[in-house]
Structure 1
């Protein structure tokens, strides 16, 4: 940069060019550095996320030695460095935790193990209030979210593959498609999983408020063949 007063424009290039990319773990493999590199940058806007990511990348990130005071609730509840607003206030006011502005939040913080257990327990308590048919429908939906296949369908696929050797290519394609669907279901984040489960639970509750539906009860029996009807006629 020029030494002339008021001249802030530099024409020449940087004198010393870096030949290799900077790596913060090149000479430091300590637990502190690894922990900083694995930090989750969440509940901030895009610009603030880029700023914190730059500090992490170039080893400028400084951890907090003690909780920081929130500028909204004035409580020492901030545990992340460079944040000025705590998570509770940021969610209530829908603002960025770093700059405090009403910007679009890039990523949300994943729940802790205690919060996960609490959410699961709350869902189980609500499921107990459902009827048996609604409860089974809810658990079938959870199995579908987890990417589990029904045992009956697996047996049918195995018998079809054993009986017909000509359709091996077709069954392989079907299995690949089912595998892709399972990967899509299992790739759901934990937040999406709980949101979908809560949405399904609300739908089942609305169905219970509507009254007793006999048609749905008969549909849930899943009768597949006439063998189930052979009761008293043979006797």
Structure 2
């Protein structure tokens, strides 16, 4: 850009071009730099995520030394730099934590190890209250979410000595491997949400069965009336 007043546009290229891309960890191998490179950028929109990623890449990111005051709840609950809202307030208002605008959130913050263990323990306690049949159905659904599949036994070949049969089976197996696609791994939040939804469905079905049995049961008063009518 020229130093001439009012000249804000420039046609020529940059005079000194960089031969290599800037690498923030080339000469700086400190723990702080490694921590920033592994920092999780979450609960922000796409534009804010790009801005924070640029600051980290070019060593312009300044981490917080102490929690920051949230503009929503007025509490010191912000632990991420450049955020103006805490995660709870941003979720309630459905806005970005950095700019405060109603934009699509590109990534959500993954729960900590303690929160994950607490959620798993709570789900296990609720599963124990289910009947055996519904408990098995829940575990089958969880195995399906995790991508576990039971190995199916292949049918025995009638003609083991036939080379043509082996060739056909080999080609069919190769075609199945090409057509089958690996399921996309679910995030921890989606995993817990799907597990909770399945558990609620099983609970509703269990209460519906109990109501059905209550309707079919005969009260003691009705039994006595039927017994007296039989004596007369």
Give yes or no for the alignment of 1:206 onto 2:204. yes
Shift of 1:131: 1.4
Listed as ranges, the matches of 1:1-235 within 5 Å are 1-150=1-150, 153-154=151-152, 156-157=153-154, 160=155, 165=160, 166-167=165-166, 168-169=169-170, 172-173=173-174, 176=177, 180=180, 183-184=182-183, 187-211=185-209
Shift of 1:177: 7.0
Shift of 1:4: 2.7
Shift of 1:162: 7.5
Deviation string 1:53-80 (CA, Å, 9 cap, x unpaired) is: 1001111111111111111111111111
CA separation in 1, counterparts of 2:176 and 2:158? 16
CA separation in 2, counterparts of 1:80 and 1:162? 62
Shift of 1:129: 2.4
Shift of 1:101: 1.2
CA separation in 2, counterparts of 1:113 and 1:40? 15
Taking structure 2 as the reference length, the TM-score comes to 0.79
- Matched residue SS, 1:184: coil
Shift of 1:201: 1.1
- Matched residue SS, 2:183: helix
- Matched residue SS, 2:137: helix
Q: Is the 1:161–1:171 contact (alpha carbons within 8 Å) kept by the matching residues of 2?
A: no
Comparing 8-17 with 169-178, greater Cα deviation is found at 169-178
Q: CA 1:10/1:177 → structure 2, altered by over 3 Å: closer, same or farther? A: closer
Shift of 1:82: 0.9
Task: Give 5+ residue unaligned stretches, structure 2.
Answer: 211-232
What root-mean-square deviation, in Å, do the aligned CA atoms of Structure 1 and Structure 2 show? Answer: 2.6
CA separation in 1, counterparts of 2:146 and 2:17? 51
Q: CA 1:87/1:29 → structure 2, altered by over 3 Å: closer, same or farther? A: same
Q: Is the 1:134–1:204 contact (alpha carbons within 8 Å) kept by the matching residues of 2?
A: yes
Taking structure 1 as the reference length, the TM-score comes to 0.78
CA separation in 2, counterparts of 1:113 and 1:162? 49
CA separation in 2, counterparts of 1:44 and 1:114? 23
